[in-house]
Amino acid sequence: MELRSNAPEGPIETAWERHRFDMKLVNPANKRKFTVLVVGTGLAGGSAAATLAELGYNVKAFCFQDSPRRAHSIAAQGGINAAKNYQGDGDSIYRLFYDTVKGGDFRSRERNVYRLAQLSVEIIDQAAAQGVPFAREYGGLLANRSFGGAQVSRTFYARGQTGQQLLLGCYQALSRQIDAGNVEMHARTEMLELIVDNGRARGIVTRDLLTGKIDTHFGDAVILATGGYGNAYFLSTNAMGSNATAAWRAHRKGALFANPCYTQIHPTCIPVHGTHQSKLTLMSESLRNDGRVWVPKKKEDCGKDPRKIPESDRDYYLERKYPAFGNLVPRDIASRSAKEVCDEGRGVGPEVDGRRLGVYLDFADAIERLGEDAVRDRYGNLFEMYERITDENPYKTPMRIYPAVHYTMGGLWVDYNLQSTIPGLFVLGEANFSDHGANRLGASALMQGLADGYFVIPYTLGNYLGHHGREILANTVDASSASTKAAVGDVEARIEKLLGIGGKKSPDHFHRRLGQIMWDKCGMARNKAGLEEALVEIPKLREEFYSNLAVPGSGDDFNQTLVKATRVADFLEIGELMVRDALNREESAGGHFREEHQTPEGEARRDDENFTYVAAWEFNGVGVEPTLHKEQLEFEYVKLTQRSYK
Amino acid sequence: MAGQALSLPQTTIGKKAIMAASSIILMGFLVGHLGGNLLIFADNPEQAVNAYSNWLREFGHGSVIWIVRAVLIAAVLGHIWGAMTITARNKAARPVGYRRKQSLRSTLASRTMVYGGMAITAYIIYHLAHLTFHAGIPGGFNPLDDPAYPHLTTNVYLNLVESFQNPGIVGIYVLAQVFLGLHLYHGAWSFLQTLGASHPRYNETRKLAAAAFAGLISVGFILIPLGVQFGLVK
Amino acid sequence: MKITLHVWRQKSAKDRGDFETHRLDDVSADSSFLEMLDQLNDGLVEQGREPVAFDHDCREGICGACGMVINGYAHGPRALTTACQLHMREFGDGDEIWIEPWRAKAFPVIKDLAVDRSAFDRIIGAGGYVSVNTGSAPDANEIAIPKKIADQAMDAATCIGCGACVAACPNASAMLFTSAKVSHLGMLPQGQVERFDRVRNMVAQHDAEGFGGCTNHGECEAACPKGISLEWIARMNRDFLKAMVAERDTVSAR
């Protein structure tokens, strides 16, 4: 299979504009003839569903939550980047493009990223018009802040709830279309299979989570906007329901999965408190602006009250190793360094499974320098959240933090039109692999989700239907089609199988164990031996899952254990692919750090000669080695350089 | 999406607005009524009270009292209608109650508005039977035929004084005023909230003013039976 | 710590439902309330019994999915905290804890502690938006908005749609929820065009869903995990009465 990006040639600045002109249009009367299925209603899916309905398509939207307003986009805190240059501080579309490509460690497609930077400005206009209450200056104009070490202030925000406000704006636009009858909304509905007919994505098989009813929905194109697969690690900052099933099912049906090993680990999360922990909570990275990270020099001090450990016995390891950037090194470096000191046995906090996983983030100096009030002004709400969760007062005793899985840069492979390798299957937002390369910059996830949904898919979908609409309409797919029957039969068999195992352990039990393998062997730092072990352990765990899983209740009502089981079953397969990809990528890039590939100083070392490609995997069966396809990446505008934060 | 147009009384806010608007009339009445009744503490109470009663019936060739009565009856009926429909609606909105439920912010007054309202309605009937229709409650009717008060057939002053010699009647009146006070304590700020007359700067004042109003009205009214009972009326 | 749970169990909307008692002997004070329920459920699953159904998702207090009445308090006894952010250290060793679902006609029970809150979506669908199609927006800085107004709009917009206001309200009224959206959009310049249609249609939908009316108890404000103010209800009343009484060109209701 040859992977073609379908990105327009020629000057990058006008690529999208020229592409838009070259695309076919669907006239308004014909739009009504087409039905589009949108799975997932977060920023990407919600904005796509609303916009396509506004344009006149028939849209059916699906989400597993009880309302589209609860998609996990809602939890994004920090902000959204846009190259508005309202602050006049030297920002531009080109700079945002440049920063994103570089931040992604040169593993993304230049033309996609450039378009993203271009569209970023329209997103802010759209959101403001919807009534999103962005932060403002006293003069009434929009406020910006610098985020994640960016040298310009290009981040727009609504307190620490930017994701919430953007999602509500998009949910409201969607609600308007639902009320107008242009979108048929199916909440509490999970997609369990993709229907591919005659080589095109034509429908989905869903399960109504309340009644257990297996249903089919048909359309002329299918859009997946189902988020990332970070929950393969069990513990992550993702929502409990976030899952990879829709994307994984599409992968099994022929969509290539790109760069699954690129996972972003966020350094400032609240550490695990015990074995019953269900998820991790992120705290804004801005804490590192004033907090100092340290651990005790001596292992014996790790259980002590940190306030009683003298200055001379503390190791401010980031300041020691990276004197220039200190506590402000990028996410991946901060995360990895924390893991290193904890692996040395110098972690702090309560012991969980015999290990202390945490490092101090100390504000004592900042409080002495600025006063407690100034610190409260800057971080009051974060300190409050920390105290609520840990019952420790960070004004008095140092915070404890530890990295956690936060975002997955990998996803289904898509071309410039956001179309996967299955014609008619489009993938948006975190579910695709497109724009962030090997590492995503802060405040860029919201930007990508909305750019895809509001401003890319409405054009590229029209182009697809303009070209192939007639052929699609001529080929009716319904419940009696062989492809549908096979897909429904497969779903029913899976459900029956999960219900019939009659074992002893809950889905969470297996999920937790999978997470442990993933975190230990395919987490912040990976090595060949560990990855190879994981390749043995995961299939074993999968086998155990299918022999000892307990799912009480039946398949025809609200059975949350069954729902969980269907998701864990797919995580057990995607986990293996992540490991394989990590094993294949014999370099360190962004969120993927291979211990074998580092500089003598312990920095990530890319191998541009051999790995400047997107690794897109083709499914060949469970437990069967997948086929690797490569999309070579060209860097015409941004010169390949090695990052250095010394 | 098209649907039928709603009129104000059909909506929950509309019903409450009707209750709020009627409550303004009723509160206005209470102020006037209390003002008149406090004449019982005048130097010559019999003359003051009876002259005032006579004047009420004479004012505007006797028409004003009927207009006032009509407005009051409409206000009471509107208030009761609003209360009944909204209460029925609110009860229906939670068909299965909580086994355990704690209150955080509601007050005794807010939670007993309906019961207080019913008690006050019962009291109004009693009060009218007692002093307006003279339905045989002890001391409630003392005939009067005095050319100085051409519009009076009964000695209003004497009716009060004789009735309030009876501790049972005093008890009923005092209890009713306690209910009224509680009702007003919630109602007098609630009507502002319902009509949207709020402003963060005045909201605390709004509550205090309501409490003061409720206290003054109910204490004022209580003074009358108690004053008679304890011989403070000259 | 050891605790005794009395959990509401109800198979479906039609089932009558009752409390079921469970004892947990090994609960960590650092667990969140929902992690405690996970622990209960894991045990139940391993005994082959059906776990307690409850909605939850982000567990960071922002998605609004979780919600249950804990010992008589919506989202539990701690102010400004969702059930997922409540921690077991708020309870004492040996405590008895009663857990009930949100109870309202407009929120029918689906199973155990999970209820159907789709009425909220329909209230938003009735007018909780600014009718602006994608692509037709002017530059975001074209309209300046006083910081104070933007901040207040944000205060109202912070509602997470969890339904605690309905659960806590003695009348099962959703006025706090409705008013938060009416006020958020009604305060901003972008929301002016549809301001009076919006309030009228949203209130009409609120009523059609079978929620009770507001009688100004203030329980909603106290229970709200995001601290949405009663002030918004007054503001909505103001707009609504104006829409019904004064705005003659907007009487063609849904």
User: Tell me, what's the ipTM?
Assistant: 0.97
pLDDT band, residue C252 (cuts 50/70/90): very low
Please check whether residue A240 is in contact with residue C56, taking contact to mean a CB–CB distance below 8 angstroms. Answer: yes
> What token pair was written down for A213?
């009813």
Residue of A nearest to C47 (CA): A504
Other CB atoms within a 10 A radius of the CB of residue A466 amount to: 15
Total of domains in chain C: 2
**Final residue before a domain boundary, out of C61, C77, C110:** C110
- Is C114 in contact with A187 (CB distance < 8 Å)? no
Looking at chain C, which residue has its C-alpha nearest residue B190?
Answer: C216
Tell me how far apart the alpha carbons of residues B91 and B82 are, in angstroms, rounded to a whole number: 14
Q: Which domain holds residue B162?
A: 9-92+106-229
Give the model's confidence band at A79: pLDDT under 50 very low, under 70 low, under 90 confident, else very high: very high
Which domain covers residue C19, as residue numbers? 3-110
Q: Which two tokens stand for residue A419?
A: 């179309």
pLDDT of residue B216: 97
- What's the pLDDT score for residue B5? 62
Residues C103 and C123 in one domain: no
- Residue of chain B with shortest Cα separation from C244: B8
Count Cβ atoms below 10 Å from residue A408 Cβ, excluding itself.
Answer: 30
Mean pLDDT of chain A: 96
- Would the CB atoms of C237 and B92 count as touching at under 8 Å? no
Q: What is the CATH number of the domain that holds C13?
A: 3.10.20.30
C85 and chain A in contact, CB less than 8 A: yes
How many A×C Cβ pairs under 8 Å?
228
CA distances from C63 to A236, A531, B126, C66, C161 (A): 16, 35, 55, 8, 8
Q: What is the pLDDT of residues A36-72, one digit of tens each?
A: 999 999 999 999 999 999 999 999 999 999 999 999 9
Give the H/E segment covering residue A568: helix A560-584
- How far apart are the C-alpha atoms of A51 and A57, rounded to whole Å? 9
Helices marked H in C47-117: none
3-state secondary structure of A220: coil
State the average pLDDT over residues B79-83.
Answer: 97
> Which tokens belong to A149?
């070490």
The answer to whether C214 contacts B12, with C-beta atoms less than 8 Å apart, is yes
Q: What is the pLDDT of residue B1?
A: 38
What's the CATH number where B155 sits?
1.20.1300
Q: Does A331 participate in catalysis according to the annotation?
A: yes
Number of residues assigned to chain C: 254
Instruction: Copy the structure tokens of residue B139.
Output: 């001391």
Percent with pLDDT over 70 in chain C: 97
CA distance linking residue A290 with residue A328, whole number of Å: 9
Interface test with C, best of A54, A122, A136, A563 (most C CBs within 10 A): A136
> Which tokens sit at A172?
């409201």
Which among A564, A68, A69 is positioned nearest to A278, based on CA atoms?
A564
A461-474: average pLDDT? 97
Among the three residues C66, C90, C110, which one is the final residue of a domain in this structure?
C110
Torsion sign across C-alpha atoms B109, B113, B119, B121: positive
Same domain for C147 and C212? yes
What the block records as the tokens of A612 is 């400047």
**Whether the predicted pLDDT of A613 surpasses 60:** yes
Assess B96–A contact: CB distance below 8 Å, yes or no.
no
pLDDT digits (tens, 9 = 90+) for B139-190: 999 999 999 999 999 999 999 999 999 999 999 999 999 999 999 999 999 9
| CA–CA separation, A322 and A55 (whole Å) | 52
Q: Write the class of the CATH domain A265-406.
A: alpha beta
Question: Which chain B residues contact residue C214 at CB under 8 A?
Answer: 12-13, 16, 194
| DSSP run (H or E) holding A269 | strand A263-269
Pairing of strands C69-70, C73-74: antiparallel
- Is A120:A458 a contact under the CB 8 Å cutoff? no
Residue in chain A closest to C82 (alpha carbons) equals A388
Q: Identity (one letter) of the amino acid at B88?
A: A
In sequence order, the 6+-apart residues with CB closer than 8 A to the CB of A476 are: none
- Residue C216 φ then ψ, to 5°: 60, 40
Chains with ≥3 Cβ pairs under 8 A against B? A, C
Query: How far away is chain B from the Cα of C211, in angstroms, using its nearest Cα?
Result: 5
Q: What secondary structure letter does DSSP report for A160?
A: T
Among residues A616, A646, A610, the alpha carbon closest in space to that of A631 is found at: A616
Q: Which of A331, A346, A356, A594 is the catalytic position?
A: A331
Please indicate, yes or no, if residue B99 is contained in any of the structural domains: no
- Check which CATH number belongs to the domain holding C147 and give it: 1.10.1060.10
Rounded (10°) CA dihedral B169, B174, B180, B184: 160
Chains that touch A (3 or more CB pairs under 8 A): B, C
Shared domain check, C90 and C12 = yes
Q: How far apart are CA A65 and CA A62, in angstroms?
A: 9
Number of separate domains in chain B = 1
Contacts of C148 by beta carbon, 8 Å cutoff, 6+ apart: none
**Nearest Cα to Cα of residue A170 among A112, A228, A123:** A123
Identify the closest residue of chain A to B2 by CA–CA distance. Answer: A180
Domain shared by C121 and C105, yes or no: no
Together in a domain, C35 and C160: no
For residue B1, list chain A residues with Cβ-Cβ distance below 8 A. 179-181
CA distance A180 to chain B (A): 6
Contact, A48 vs A38, CB < 8 A? yes
Residues C97 and C219 in one domain: no
Confidence of residue A328 (pLDDT cuts 50, 70, 90): confident
* Per-residue model confidence (pLDDT) at position A33: 96
CA dihedral (A545, A549, A553, A559) in degrees, to 10, reads: -40
Collect all residues with Cβ–Cβ distance below 8 Å to A183 and sequence separation of at least 6: A49, A50, A53, A59, A60, A61, A174, A177
C137 is written with which tokens? 């927006």
C-alpha to C-alpha distance for B19 and B86, rounded to whole angstroms: 10
How is residue A236 annotated by DSSP? B
Measure Cα distances from C10 to C14, C45, C111 in Å.
9, 17, 5
Is residue B217 one of the residues assigned to a domain? yes
Average pLDDT of every residue of chain B: 94
Is A44:A452 a contact under the CB 8 Å cutoff? yes
* Beta bridge pairs of residue A496: none
What per-residue confidence (pLDDT) applies to A377?
A: 85
Q: How far is B221 from chain C (nearest CA, A)?
A: 26
- Phi and psi torsions of A105, nearest 5°: 55, 35
* Contact: C134, A159; criterion CB under 8 Å: no
8-47 of B, contacting C, C-beta below 8 A: 8, 10-17
Question: What CA dihedral angle connects B88, B90, B93 and B95, to 10 degrees?
Answer: -70
Indicate if C105 and C123 belong to the same structural domain: no
Please report all neighbours of C, defined by 3+ CB atom pairs within 8 A: A, B
Map out the domains of chain A as residue ranges. Answer: 265-406
C246 touches chain A (CB under 8 A): no
Instruction: Tell me the residues of A at the B interface, defined by beta carbons under 8 Å apart.
Output: 179-181
pLDDT, tens only, C200-214 = 999 999 999 999 999
Q: Average pLDDT, stretch A74-91?
A: 95
The residue out of C110, C135, C152 marking a domain boundary is C110
C-contacting residues of A 188-217, CB under 8 Å?
210
Number of Cβ within a 10 Å radius of residue B71? 15
Give B9's Cβ-side CA count (13 Å radius).
Answer: 10
Q: Is A448 on the interface with C (CB under 8 A)?
A: no
